[in-house]
């Protein structure tokens, strides 16, 4: 079963949207297996956003993601990576479709509320960057027995 890393960014925490974002992922049927509030260090931020190093928005991106606490989560489910990406909406909230988290709740390109891993391979790397094994909580839901992989 696929897993993905989700971050509620500092704007989401400060706007009181953690519950709304968690609810959307829960309601879709994804399974929450890890959750913590944390302040992202410069080191973790640089490793997490290494792909954007050198881009004009990089310094602002690192400054923003380290500016306040985030809520980090691991969600599990069938094709969880792409399911979360579609629930998030486009990177620029102005282009995000209504019905998506960014399309309904955000307006600014930097403060776009949520991070979700963009591929299964990236998800594995990001999960290892943010969570230790003991912070992942596996549990059985009755309906998991009938879920196709």
Q: Does the footprint of ligand DAT cover residue 100 (CB under 6 A)?
A: no
Q: How far is the CB of 141 from Mg ion (least distance, A)?
A: 29
Q: Does the footprint of ligand DAT cover residue 95 (CB under 6 A)?
A: no
**Which part of the chain contacts Mg ion (CB under 5 A), choosing from 82-90, 101-109, 113-121, 140-148?**
113-121
* HSE value, Cβ hemisphere, 13 Å, CA-based, for 17: 20
Q: How far is the CB of 149 from ligand DAT (least distance, A)?
A: 25
* 115: annotated active-site residue: yes
* β-pair partners for 31: 76
Q: Does the footprint of ligand DAT cover residue 57 (CB under 6 A)?
A: yes
Beta carbon nearer to Mg ion, 88 or 105: 88
Q: Does the footprint of ligand DAT cover residue 110 (CB under 6 A)?
A: yes
**Which part of the chain contacts ligand DAT (CB under 6 A), choosing from 28-36, 39-47, 110-118, 140-148?**
110-118
Q: Does the footprint of ligand DAT cover residue 46 (CB under 6 A)?
A: no
Q: Which member of 20, 32, 61, 122 binds ligand DAT (CB under 6 A)?
A: 61
For the residues of the chain, what is the DSSP string, one character each?
A: -EEEEEEE-HHHHHTT-HHHHHHHHHHHT-EEEEEEEE---HHHHHHHTGGGTTSTTHHHHHHHHTSS-EEEEEEEETTHHHHHHHHH--SSTTTSPTTSHHHHH---SS--SEEE-SSHHHHHHHHHHH--GGG------GGGGG---
Query: Which residues form the interface with Mg ion (CB under 5 A)?
Result: 118
Q: Annotated active-site positions, please?
A: 115
């Amino acid at each position: 079963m696929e897993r993905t890393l989700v971050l509620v960014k500092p704007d989401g925490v400060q706007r009181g949207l953690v519950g709304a974002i968690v609810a959307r992922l829960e309601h879709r049927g994804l399974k929450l297996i890890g959750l913590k509030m944390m302040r992202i260090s410069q080191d973790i931020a640089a490793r997490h956003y290494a792909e954007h190093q050198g881009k004009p928005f990089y310094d602002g991106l690192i400054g923003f993601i380290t500016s306040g606490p985030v809520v980090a989560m691991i969600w599990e489910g069938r094709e969880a990576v792409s399911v979360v990406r579609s629930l998030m909406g486009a990177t620029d909230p102005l282009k995000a479709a209504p019905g998506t988290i960014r399309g309904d709740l955000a307006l600014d390109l930097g403060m776009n509320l949520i991070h979700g891993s963009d591929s299964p391979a990236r998800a594995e790397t990001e999960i290892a960057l943010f969570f230790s094994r003991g912070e992942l909580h596996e549990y059985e839901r009755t309906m998991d027995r009938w879920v196709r992989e």
